[in-house]
Copies of this chain bind each other. A is one copy, B any other.
Amino acid sequence: MSRAYNFNAGPAVLPLEILEIAQKELIDFNGTGMSIMEHSHRGKAYDAVHAEAVANLGKLLGVTDDYQVLFLQGGASLQFSMVPMNLLGAGQVADYVNSGAWAGKAIKEAKKVGAVNVLADTSKEIPTNMPDYEALNYTPGAAYVHVTSNETIAGTQIQRFPRTAAPLVADMSSDILSRPLDLKQFGLVYAGAQKNLGPSGVTLVVIRKDLAERAAATLPTMLQYRTHLEENSLYNTPPTFGIYILMLVTRWLLSKGGAAGMEKINQAKAGKLYAAIDNSGGYYRGSAVKAFRSAMNVTWRLPSEALEEKFIKEATALKMIGLKGHRSVGGCRASIYNACPMAAIDALVAHMADFQAKNG
């Protein structure tokens, strides 16, 4: 097999080693004569997978006793509603930062639930940008502060999280475990798995336990964090196969030195790609301001849309997949999550040099 260079924004590339293990075990998991997909979510075989996924994430994220790891469904899109439904009480206000498309969706859903204060809006800025998070005018007594750690479409990323008086809630869908995190700084962190953690269909939530007690008992049972906290994410049938793949990914992350190890690798990958952009004499232009450049989603433009189209078409022929920018912004985007190998970056950088030489 000739493996593609996968730059998809999500679902995204997974470590080949993980896929090989999953393939080998697919029909007969650990000699049980069944696929892990066929095991009961209340049986021993799956129990061990679930427990290891929780334990490994505990190590990788520095989870202490006052926090809990949850596996939910519905992606970040459902978290946009669950966060305010659980944490935003009547008469309270929640602070949000509108840093782009994903933050904008979170704000839209929160406004359906309660009072929202938008502290800053950089969502329309070109080059794409983020505000100075440490200089924002946070609301005293806010229920929580919501930020989006990485904007996949804009290619921007928070470099330093603010220390906030209210619990900090972060959508980390596109950069979870790509770098170390001081969990104590957050009240709640959530992430769809399909970028850095595994396949789509699993949502990771890490919650400070006391926050789960805020929700009214009249909320639908499935939409209360409390339910999933009390039942260790086994209130109903979880997406077992997705959690199994996520567990394998956490093993792989631990073998790479965890979040700190990944950060070094990710900085090297992103550094090489941004250097190719910056050293092109203006032929390639980064879409994001340098101070907020994302190490996960690298966005850039060529001199014309026609050249962008040609660049992407030729890249596709070289098995580089997913380089088209989001339809809402155009241009090029390379999503280079944890599992994207350096070989993919090297191939892309070579194509960029070659393309410029021929079309510059």
A9 and B218 alpha carbons, distance in the complex (Å): 30
Q: How many residues of A contact B (CB 8 A)?
A: 67
A2 and B85 alpha carbons, distance in the complex (Å): 48
With contact pairs A4-B32, A19-B35 given, residues A41 and B77 touching in the complex (Cβ less than 8 Å):
no
A201 and B41 alpha carbons, distance in the complex (Å): 12
The proximity string for A residues 1-20 relative to B, scoring 1 for CB distances below 8 Å and 0 otherwise, is: 11110101111111010011
Chain A's interface: helix, strand, loop or mixed, by majority?
loop
A289 and B27 alpha carbons, distance in the complex (Å): 37
> A222, B38: Cβ atoms under 8 Å?
no
- Among the listed B3, B78, B112, B245, which residue makes an inter-chain contact with A218, where contact means beta carbons less than 8 Å apart? B112
Q: Is A114 an interface residue (CB 8 A)?
A: no
> A10, B200: Cβ atoms under 8 Å?
no
A12 and B43 alpha carbons, distance in the complex (Å): 12
Minimum distance in angstroms from A283 CB to a CB of chain B: 27
B-facing residues in A172-223 (Cβ within 8 Å): 192, 194, 199-202, 218-223
Q: State the 8 A-B residue pairs at the shortest beta-carbon distance, nearest first.
A: A201-B239, A4-B33, A81-B220, A73-B73, A77-B236, A23-B26, A37-B199, A200-B237
With A12-B38, A241-B241 given, can you name 6 additional A-B contacts, CB distance below 8 Å? A4-B33, A8-B38, A37-B199, A73-B75, A109-B222, A242-B242
Across the two chains, which residue of chain B brings its CB closest to A322?
B40
What residues make up the interface of A, taking CB atoms closer than 8 Å to B? 1-4, 6, 8-14, 16, 19-20, 22-23, 26-28, 32-35, 37-41, 43, 73-78, 80-81, 85, 108-109, 112-113, 192, 194, 199-202, 218-223, 235-242, 245, 319, 321-322
14 contacts between A and B (CB under 8 A): A2-B33, A3-B34, A4-B34, A8-B40, A14-B37, A19-B27, A19-B37, A73-B239, A75-B236, A112-B218, A112-B220, A199-B239, A200-B241, A241-B241
Chain multiplicity (copies) = 2
Minimum distance in angstroms from A90 CB to a CB of chain B: 16
> B26, A242: Cβ atoms under 8 Å?
no
A246 and B45 alpha carbons, distance in the complex (Å): 23
> B73, A74: Cβ atoms under 8 Å?
yes
Contacts of A27 in B (CB 8 A): 1, 16, 19-20, 23
With contact pairs A1-B27, A23-B26, A241-B199 given, residues A74 and B222 touching in the complex (Cβ less than 8 Å):
yes
Across the two chains, which residue of chain B brings its CB closest to A5?
B33
- Among the listed B11, B38, B219, which residue makes an inter-chain contact with A240, where contact means beta carbons less than 8 Å apart? B11
A2 and B28 alpha carbons, distance in the complex (Å): 9
Across the two chains, which residue of chain B brings its CB closest to A8?
B40
Across the two chains, which residue of chain B brings its CB closest to A242?
B201
A10 and B237 alpha carbons, distance in the complex (Å): 8
Contacts of A76 in B (CB 8 A): 236
> B222, A9: Cβ atoms under 8 Å?
no
Minimum distance in angstroms from A88 CB to a CB of chain B: 13
Minimum distance in angstroms from A3 CB to a CB of chain B: 5
